[in-house]
Every structure is written in structure tokens, then in C-alpha cells.
Amino acid sequence: MTTPLRRTATALTLVAALTGTTAMTIAPTAALAVPAGGYGDLVETLAPAVVFIEVTEKAQDAQSLADALPPGFPREELERRFGPMFPQQSPNDAQPQQALGSGFIISNDGYIVTNNHVVDGAETVKVKLNNDKEYDAEVIGTDPLTDIALIKITADVDLPTVPWGDSNTVRAGDEAVAIGNPFGLGGTVTSGIVSAVSRDIHSGPYDDYIQTDAAINRGNSGGPLFNADGEVIGVNTMIFSPGGGSVGIGFAVPSDLVQKVVTDLRDDGTIARGWLGVQIKPMTEEIASVLGYDSPKGAVIEDVTADSPAAKAGLEDGDIILTFADKDIADVGDLTRAVADVTPGSATKAIVWRKGKEMTIDVTVGDLAKKNA
């Protein structure tokens, strides 16, 4: 079971888990690489830019809880045998829910990255720094598809920041350090290695997670995953947990993807993604063998949506997309991400295999938001 890492104060729920008055910007160098003696110097440098987030969610009354039951749930039969599941209460009796998460400061004027599921449905968001100062935060924008959110606080001093690392250079076996707020225990540091990269756990269309065995739990949601140079290589988002706690399988959204999302959110609070308009499936071993490939690659078009950018470009059922926007397509996830990365309205090229030959097709990418509107 994969579990987002937010922790509610009333229950552990399975959902989808500065100091001083002078400016301080953290810029790790080679000198900050983890020494043989441990991570102390590194953590001391980075911790001031990691924040702890407390969210107040809208109170749920008995009716709203009942409405959240899945279709087909045998509520009437259970209540007949065991009594009311949701005793009647007045609106004044409904209590707001509290939730905790983590985040990290990316600009000295107070922009903070966290997870969408940390702030989703929030009425109020409060941010606590590691010097115990607290601020009300504004949600600038959220992206449920990557589970990333951007929030902002206003302070009377420049705030410390942490730098981005290049997640494209991360390899399995690299060192990893997580700092966050698991179960409300602020300032918690754990370490491990990168267990895998480009992990698809079937949680959404843009799965490309960094997997780590650094212990992360509920409350770590939105916190940073650092490399040994003190650079953010991912945002801790989800764990695999049969029992609810860390078993050494955690997932972080890679920093390169997060930066693109955050830049878009910071601009106007929304995300602009490209849209092609095709249903796709992986290439089979049989097709790969016929085409002379050592292994399957590319994305096979099963269906082209009428009046879509793909249809207007002349893409057809059965086409195998090998590259898109100059990016090699190894599997269907590569195509999904490549299309999303193209600015809506932009012209690009797709190289496809059609009926025994390779051909290049000009495509003007559409706007996913307008398509879903």
C-alpha cells in the first residue's frame, strides 16, 4: 500500500502521507560533503530552511462523512446491526481537523515547497520555523497530478533557503538525507541511500519517483530529500507501508520535475501542460522483435481522439511514437511527460514508425487545462 505522508492530529489516516535578523542563504560546497564523522555539519547548515506545516481543515459533520463512503458500502445493514455510524450532531459540534506536514524554503522572501495533499482542503495554513517562529501562509498554487504545492509566508527578515540539485544525475546507491516533521516531531533527520530512480508506482500519469530507504513517515510529506552536497534532489511524498510506518521504502518527486511545477505555480498559481489527444500502450516484445529492436521501446497509439492535436497532425492508430519534442520515448510514461513539458500552443516534432518506415510528423501541442475545462 502506498501512502501519502501527511499526519492528522486526531487519527493516522490513509489518504491517496531562522534564526537572527540578518539574511542567510545556504549554499553548500564540497566542504559540506558528508564527512566520515557523520551528517552533523550538513544538517546544521540545512535545517533552518526546513519548515513544519500545520493545517486546519474544514470541519466535517456527520452528513459529509456519510457522503464520503464509497459506492455500495453497506451502511444501512451495518447500522441496523450495530447502531448509527455517524451520530447526529449540530453544525456547531463539528470539529476542525488538524494535519501536519513539512516543507522547505526556496526563496528568501518566503516561498515554500510542500505537497499538495498537505494543504489540500485547508482553511488555514501555519508555518513554523526551526527557531519556533510561526507565520500564516498563503497557498499560491497546487498541482494534484504531481502532488506539489507552493505556499508563501511574509517575514520581516530574509529567510534561509536551500538549493536545488540535479535529480537527473542521481543514481541508485547515492547517499540521501531527509529532514522533516514525522508525527509532529519537528527537526527529525534520517539518512540512507537512493534505492532506485525513475520508479513508476502507478499513482498518477507523471510517476518518476526517486526511491529511498531513508526513514520517512507521515508528517514528512513535503519535506526535502537531500544529496550528500546538501542539495534538494526530491520532495518526500509517499511511502510503501503495509502497517502504516516506515519499512524503508519511500518515494520522492524528483527535483527537476518539482522545479518546473514550482516555476509555473509561482507565475500565476496554475499549471500549463501540453495535450496530444491519444490513448497509448507499451510496445510488445513481439513488435520489438519484428522491428529488430533488442527490447520494446516507444509508445503505441491505440486511439486518436477526434479533433485533437494528434488528429490534426495526422497521427494514426497503430503509429509507434519513438521520439517526441527531441526526447527519446522508451515507454508510455516518457511520452506522457514529454507532451506535458511542451508549452501549449507550441509546434514540435514526433518521430513515429508507421507501416514499416520511420517518419517525422509536425505537431502543435494543445492545452490540457482547456481540454479538461
Q: What is the 3-state secondary structure (H, E, C) of 190-218?
A: EEEEEEEEEECCCCCCCCCEEEECCCCCC
Can you give the pLDDT of all 373 residues of the chain as single tens digits? Answer: 666 665 444 332 233 342 233 444 445 544 444 566 788 989 999 999 999 999 998 765 555 555 656 666 666 665 665 566 556 655 555 566 788 999 999 999 999 999 999 999 899 999 999 999 999 999 999 999 999 999 999 999 999 999 999 999 999 999 999 999 998 888 899 999 999 999 988 887 888 999 999 999 889 999 999 999 999 999 999 888 777 778 889 999 999 999 999 999 999 999 989 999 999 998 888 888 877 777 888 899 999 999 999 999 999 999 999 999 999 999 898 999 999 999 999 999 999 999 889 999 999 999 988 777 6
Q: Annotated catalytic residue: which of 221, 241, 246, 255?
A: 221
- Residues 179 and 209 reside in one and the same domain: yes
What CATH number corresponds to the domain at position 221? 2.40.10.120
Question: Does 73 map to a domain?
Answer: no
- Residues 28 and 143 reside in one and the same domain: yes
Mark whether 147 is an active-site residue: yes
Question: Does 82 map to a domain?
Answer: no
The count of domains in the chain is 2
Alpha helix (H) residue ranges in the chain: 40-46, 62-67, 75-82, 116-119, 255-268, 285-291, 309-313, 332-341, 368-372
Question: Does 79 map to a domain?
Answer: no
- Residues 254 and 285 reside in one and the same domain: no
- Residues 307 and 222 reside in one and the same domain: no
Q: What's the pLDDT score for residue 292?
A: 76
Q: Judging by beta carbons within 10 Å of its beta carbon (0-12, 13-18, 19+), is residue 180 exposed, middle or buried?
A: buried
Q: In terms of Cα–Cα distance, which of 257, 283, 290 is closest to 271?
A: 257
| Euclidean distance between the first and the last CA atom of the chain, given in angstroms as a whole number | 32
Q: Pick the last residue of a domain from 270, 285, 317.
A: 270
Question: Does 80 map to a domain?
Answer: no
Question: Does 158 map to a domain?
Answer: yes
- Residues 159 and 259 reside in one and the same domain: yes
- Residues 258 and 282 reside in one and the same domain: no
Q: Pick the last residue of a domain from 270, 305, 336.
A: 270
Contact 209, 339 (CB under 8 A): no
Q: Give Cα separations from 69 to 62, 66, 72, 263, 279 (angstroms).
A: 11, 6, 8, 37, 31
Question: Does 141 map to a domain?
Answer: yes
- Residues 10 and 31 reside in one and the same domain: yes
- Residues 244 and 303 reside in one and the same domain: no
Measured CA to CA, the distance from residue 206 to residue 146 in angstroms comes to 7
- Residues 281 and 264 reside in one and the same domain: no
- Residues 279 and 297 reside in one and the same domain: yes
What CATH number corresponds to the domain at position 328? 2.30.42.10
Q: What's the pLDDT score for residue 235?
A: 97
Question: Does 318 map to a domain?
Answer: yes
Measured CA to CA, the distance from residue 55 to residue 112 in angstroms comes to 14
Mark whether 117 is an active-site residue: yes
Question: Does 196 map to a domain?
Answer: yes
Q: Pick the last residue of a domain from 270, 292, 308.
A: 270
CB atoms within 10 A of CB 82: 8
Q: What's the pLDDT score for residue 12?
A: 29
Q: What is the pTM of this model?
A: 0.77
Q: What's the pLDDT score for residue 290?
A: 78
Q: Annotated catalytic residue: which of 61, 102, 117, 255?
A: 117
Domain that holds residue 247: 1-58+96-270
Q: What's the pLDDT score for residue 13?
A: 29
In sequence order, which residues have a C-beta less than 8 Å from that of residue 89 and are 6 or more positions away?
61, 62
Q: Annotated catalytic residue: which of 61, 143, 147, 334?
A: 147
- Residues 181 and 148 reside in one and the same domain: yes
- Residues 186 and 318 reside in one and the same domain: no
Measured CA to CA, the distance from residue 320 to residue 298 in angstroms comes to 6
